[in-house]
Amino acid sequence: MKNEIEYIIFLGFSYLTKILGLNFSRKLSTLLAAFFYFLIPIRKKVTIDNLKGAFPNYSEKKIHKIAFATYRSFAITLIETLYVPHITKEKMINSLKCVNIDVVSKKKAESKGVIILTAHFGNWEYLAASLALQLNIPFYLMIKPQRNTYVTDFLNKTRAKWGNPVIPLGVSIRKIYSALKENKFVAMAADQRGNPDGPRINFMGRSSSVYEGPAVLALKSGADIVLSFSIRQPDYSYKVVFSELKIEDLPDSEDEKIKEICRRYLANLEELIRRYPEQWLWMHKRWKY
């Protein structure tokens, strides 16, 4: 019953964004952030603790300022995601400004599997949808299902609106591997926490477990990795600068190869987070162990 009620509320907010329009709905992001930051502080302690660990020299005031900005950024992302069923193809394409899309389009011409590696930064949902439309090719999306299956179904329908196949995490590795061997494009985020007994890498100044999936897939399939992070602009569009993640000059050991690829990815992500800390999703327990 709880899932059904949550889904009805979720669906209601989606239709509300349609009635109000996307631009006006975005203006409500500050109110939405204030509600969940001050009145019902969901994951506020996790967010504050993460920020303090990543920026130990920042004052309490600055930490809270970034934390609230993080809630507002996520509110914008949520509103934009709720609006996806109502957005036009043209507006979705125009939401993403690709500085050097040729880095990706050249990969398309090479007839080789490509991993579009991103993170929960800016609006990762718009990134996959808009880029696939601009390149006119489907992206296989590896996603982690939500607790609420109804919400997961809603999100997956929005992700597949323009033909992007969705593959759930867990049963995905074999399907993703097959897609890469067939020279398909696969989009995934790898900034989430890895297994407790997996490799650890320094990330944001702290020892961190890492998610190995993209590194393992790249090594086994021979696919290239292209980094792409969506940076929200003042006009609510997103700017993306693509860069190929080099997987050359790696250690001899297979485990060390995987670890080094993960390190290179996280080094790029950390540089971006330090420039735009409010646009990363600090609300998950990234350093749980």
Chain segment 8-52, per-residue pLDDT in tens: 999 999 999 999 999 999 999 999 999 999 999 999 999 999 999
Q: Are residues 116 and 197 in the same domain?
A: yes
Q: What is the mean pLDDT of residues 61-77?
A: 98
Q: What is the number of structural domains in the chain?
A: 2
Q: What is the pLDDT of residue 172?
A: 67
Q: Are residues 256 and 240 in the same domain?
A: yes
Kindly state whether residue 37 falls inside one of the protein's structural domains. Answer: yes
Q: Are residues 171 and 77 in the same domain?
A: no
Confidence band, pLDDT 50/70/90 cuts, at residue 171? low
Q: Which residue range forms the structural domain that includes residue 32?
A: 1-86
Q: Are residues 108 and 249 in the same domain?
A: yes
User: Tell me: the pLDDT tens digits for 245-263?
Assistant: 998 899 999 999 999 999 9
Kindly state whether residue 255 falls inside one of the protein's structural domains. Answer: yes
d(CA 180, CA 166): 14
Quote the tokens at residue 79: 């509103």
Compute the mean pLDDT over every residue in the chain, rounded to the nearest whole number: 95
Instruction: Give residues with Cβ within 8 angstroms of 111, minimum separation 6.
Output: 183
* Three-class SS state of 268: helix
Domain end point (choices 57, 86, 115): 86
d(CA 29, CA 72): 6
Q: Are residues 49 and 112 in the same domain?
A: no
User: Tell me: the pLDDT tens digits for 26-36?
Assistant: 999 999 999 99
Q: What is the mean pLDDT of residues 273-282?
A: 98
Q: Are residues 143 and 2 in the same domain?
A: no
Q: Are residues 207 and 93 in the same domain?
A: yes
Kindly state whether residue 14 falls inside one of the protein's structural domains. Answer: yes
Quote the tokens at residue 269: 């992500």
Q: Is the pLDDT of residue 108 over 90?
A: no
Domain end point (choices 86, 106, 137): 86
Q: What is the mean pLDDT of residues 213-229?
A: 96
Q: Are residues 103 and 64 in the same domain?
A: no
- What are the CA-CA distances from residue 9 to residues 35, 79, 82, 161 (Å)? 16, 13, 11, 21
Angle between helices 124-135 and 102-109 (to 10 degrees): 50
Q: Is the pLDDT of residue 64 over 70?
A: yes
